[in-house]
Chains A and B, each alone.
Chain A
Amino acid sequence: MTAAALASAAGAAPLPLVPLALSETGPVWVQLVKAVVIFVFILQIVPMVLWAERRLLGRFQARLGPNRVGPAGLMQPLADVLKLVSKEASTPATAVPWMMAIAPVISITTAVLTLAIIPFGAPGAYGGEFALAGIDVSIGLLYFFAFGSISFYGLMLGGWASGSKYSFLGSMRAAAQLVSYEVAIGLSLLGVAMTAGSLSLVEIVQAQDNIWFIVPQFVGFLIFMVAGFAESSRPPFDLPEADAELVSGYNTEFGGMRFGSFFMAEYIEVLVISGVAVAIFLGGWHGPGPEWLGPWWVLLKMLALVFLFIWVRATLPRLRYDQLMTLGWKILLPLATLNVLVTAILVVLL
């Protein structure tokens, strides 16, 4: 982002040097403001989602949930974080300590970087010409996949470096699961990319002016959500940390804020998948009311999808490993391929 400014200041090539930083995203100070606002805002939502999840799980299971710290238990996440910060980050004797230190960093960095492509508002909604997204890149969807696939290394290295069999089995499951579902999640979005004729999330949202893509691409939406559950290792796809079998899977040996980082990365990932689903299938910032309401519509739809994540967690039991593989390869993959094929034929014909 600073590259463009430096280039124009030096009077060199007018083209931005790093193509990721397209000039449409605004001047440097706007980008900084956007980055800080999105980052801080989402990071404040994470504890609230955590609290909401625990309270809702309580309701689903006919109990109260945390209600002691603060009014209605609202301060519970703060207490949890304080507890985590004060705990020791121990390393087993068989571990590779430096790798255990960087694994949570990889997880949380990739999760936060993916946040950048979620579009929150129409270009010019709050004045200026730039889109209300961290960045608007022509490879939008691929950016999402790229960081999604790097985030796997956080889990993998964390599990492997722990030097514990439970951790190792957990990370192996994570690897197999991610490889299996990445194909389906990619194909499920291909239909939308073909219909909208672009990979940029801002342009995809703009293409939903008349009709949200959830209507013509309902199959794609279903596949994306199921595969999204699997990608974020949330129940019922939480085999990498299946607590009945693997203690806590890849993060068994992590303590303190290292564990907290993994935990937070998982919740940010849930928010990112919700945000991408909102942008791609649920019309993004489109909604009744004036244009400046756009970001709030995005947020509302995101939180509705987060509620769906929690609801599914409370409702469905964990899949068995062979069921997981069967679902991924024998049901979702053919279905997604068929969806792409039908969409391609329709796009050409219509």
Chain B
Amino acid sequence: MIFEQILFFVAAAGAIGGAVGVVVLRNPFFSVLALVGHLLALAVLFLLLRAEFVAAAQVVVYAGAVMVLYVFVVAYIGGIEEPIGPSAGPLRVLGPLFAGVLLVEIAIATIGSGLRAVSSTGPAVADDFGSPEAIGALLLQKFLIAFEAASFLLLIAAVAAVVLAQRRRGLEEAGGETPLQIGRRPPTGPQAEDPAAAGSGGPAGRAIDERTPTVAQGS
């Protein structure tokens, strides 16, 4: 019992600390990492609730796949030097207000129902509760329609993302950079399409030319 309680309080503190960290930390990269910590702590809590499949899915899908993309994007776009600026305008008032309302609501729910079960041992659970088989049976038999509707919704979202990305391709035809060219210097030297134009590609291209004389210009 002691081990379970210690684990619960460590995970609960981790979950709350992570959630607070997401909001409080000024550096977006650390915010994302706090969110990762929060999600991992939630996975431990799921494990304590004997929902091992949900815990594993939580780690694989959220901490693994979704947060990797978050970290990826934030590491590229938001550097250490660019912390999020102070929030301005109505958000400064409305944000804490809504957070407070939510806190009161959850507190009412917890005190009203959850606290009554603290001294009891909790409901009896079946042996295979939370196992992949049990979850699969629930999703594909009892909640089949809701499950399929959710997957259909995700499919629509994925198709919509593709369509939106497709529309932006108009930029590329108008002379923008292709994804392969982003961040690359224009080719210089013998690799340039037009050797005569090599070296006039811009400040970055010229910087290279000063150190490495190109063969194409010499011949």
A contacts, CB < 8 Å to B: 2-3, 6-7, 10, 12-13, 15, 17-20, 137-139, 142-143, 145-146, 148-150, 152-153, 156-157, 160, 168, 171-172, 175-176, 178-179, 182, 199, 322
Contacts and interface: CB of A to CB of B under 8 A. Distances in A.
Given A19-B130, A138-B52, A139-B53, A322 B180 contact: yes
Given A15-B127, A17-B48, A149-B59, 18 more contacts: A12-B121, A15-B125, A18-B3, A18-B7, A19-B50, A138-B53, A139-B132, A142-B57, A142-B132, A145-B60, A146-B59, A146-B63, A149-B60, A150-B40, A156-B71, A160-B29, A171-B75, A199-B132
B65 interface: yes
B47 interface: yes
A6 B36 contact: no
A160 B64 contact: no
A18 B47 contact: yes
A19 B47 CA distance: 7
A182 B69 CA distance: 13
Nearest to A149: B64
A156 B75 CA distance: 10
A99 to B, nearest CB: 9
Interface residues of B, number: 36
Nearest to A183: B65
B56 A142 contact: yes
A157 B37 CA distance: 13
A17 B36 CA distance: 25
A3 B4 contact: yes
B165 interface: no
A20 B4 CA distance: 13
Interface of B: 1-4, 7, 29, 33, 36, 40, 43, 47-48, 50, 52-53, 56-57, 59-60, 63-65, 68-69, 71-72, 75-76, 121, 125, 127, 130-133, 180
12 contacts: A2-B3, A139-B52, A142-B60, A145-B56, A145-B60, A149-B64, A150-B59, A150-B64, A156-B75, A172-B75, A179-B68, A182-B65
A172 B60 contact: no
B3 A149 contact: no
B47 A145 contact: no
Contacts of B121: 12-13
B182 to A, nearest CB: 13
A7 B204 CA distance: 67
A160 B75 contact: yes
Given A3-B3, A146-B59, A199-B132, A176 B72 contact: yes
A172 B64 contact: no
A171 B75 CA distance: 10
A218 B195 CA distance: 50
Nearest to A159: B75
Contacts of A176: 72
Nearest to A161: B29
A176 B69 CA distance: 8
Given A17-B3, A19-B52, A145-B60, A153 B130 contact: no
A137 B71 contact: no
Contacts of A150: 40, 59, 63-64
A293 B47 CA distance: 35
Given A17-B3, A160-B29, A179 B131 contact: no
A176 to B, nearest CB: 7
B60 A6 contact: no
Residue among B36, B48, B59, B133 facing the most chain A CB atoms (10 A cut-off): B59
Nearest to A148: B64
Contacts of B64: 145-146, 148-150, 152, 182
The 10 closest A-B pairs by CB, nearest first: A149-B64, A142-B56, A146-B59, A3-B3, A17-B4, A139-B56, A138-B131, A175-B72, A19-B52, A145-B60
Residue among A18, A19, A142, A156 facing the most chain B CB atoms (10 A cut-off): A19
A2 B1 CA distance: 10
B142 to A, nearest CB: 20
A172 B2 contact: no
A142 B72 CA distance: 23
A32 B122 CA distance: 30
